[in-house]
């Protein structure tokens, strides 16, 4: 359809499928809304403005809201976790500044894993096959020994295998196997990850 067609009253317009007036405006429980409000206040103040090296303090705040985090893992104050009670991170792992964990569903990160600056982990979507776009909350699992480079996107329901490297700005919309390097949009396996011992 051309721009001219849009203004022609004789050209039949396609029927609109989705109906935003039918979308559920309150998809969470009342308890979740209360926890979200409380955590958003804590995250915007005590978490966000804490000194860079106070990883223990930020771990403590997240654990107060139900997160499970290893004793040596770190999170920069600029990282953002939406639902701490649906977040788990193993030991010696790190979230850099600008990382967003949009965990409407559960997100689990293994040990010795790094998420670099501005990585977006998206455990939430909508069922576009239904006109009311019901909310979906598929979990995401990121294994141990993984490096997700800057500004990569990890999509809903994805699993990233142990020791895998995800290239900068990659868009991972399906499972990434272990011990490989993936890159691109959509992300594809580039090669096996070289793993020479020290």
State what percent of residues in the chain have pLDDT above 90.
Answer: 83
The CATH number of the domain holding residue 154 is: 2.160.10.10
Residue 115 lies in a domain: yes
8-state DSSP, 91: T
129 lies in some domain? yes
List pLDDT tens digits, range 171-198: 999 999 999 999 999 999 999 999 887 6
Q: What is the pLDDT of residues 108-143, one digit of tens each?
A: 999 999 999 999 999 999 999 999 999 999 999 999
Q: Which domain holds residue 144?
A: 29-192
Residue 175 inside a domain? The answer is yes
Residue 1 lies in a domain: no
Distance CA 134, CA 73 (A): 35
CA dihedral 66, 158, 98, 56 (to 10 degrees): 30
Phi, psi for residue 91 in degrees, rounded to 5: -95, 150
14 Cβ partners below 8 Å, 6+ apart?
A: none
Computed over every residue of the chain, the mean pLDDT equals 93
Alpha carbons 108 and 86: distance in angstroms, whole number: 8
Q: Has residue 54 been placed in a domain? A: yes
Domains contained in the chain, number: 1
- Residue 147 clears pLDDT 90, i.e. is over it: yes
- Whether residue 36 is contained in a domain is answered as yes
């Amino acid at each position: 359809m051309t721009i001219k067609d849009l203004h022609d009253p004789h050209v039949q317009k396609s029927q609109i499928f989705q109906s935003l007036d039918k979308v559920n405006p309150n998809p969470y429980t009342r308890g979740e809304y209360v926890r979200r409000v409380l955590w958003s206040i804590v995250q915007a103040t005590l978490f966000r403005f804490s000194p860079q090296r106070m990883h223990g303090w930020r771990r403590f705040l997240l654990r107060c809201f139900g997160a499970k985090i290893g004793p040596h893992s770190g999170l920069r104050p600029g990282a953002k976790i939406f639902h701490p009670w649906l977040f788990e991170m193993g030991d010696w792992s790190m979230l850099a500044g600008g990382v967003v964990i949009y965990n409407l569903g559960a997100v689990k990160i293994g040990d010795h894993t790094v998420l670099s600056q501005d990585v977006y982990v998206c455990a939430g979507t909508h069922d576009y096959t239904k006109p009311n776009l019901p909310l979906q909350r598929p979990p995401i699992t990121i294994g141990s020994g993984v490096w997700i480079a800057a500004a990569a996107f990890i999509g809903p329901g994805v699993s990233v295998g142990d020791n895998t490297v995800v290239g900068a700005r990659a868009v991972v919309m399906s499972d990434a196997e272990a011990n490989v390097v993936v890159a691109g949009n959509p992300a594809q396996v580039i090669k096996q990850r070289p793993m020479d011992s020290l």
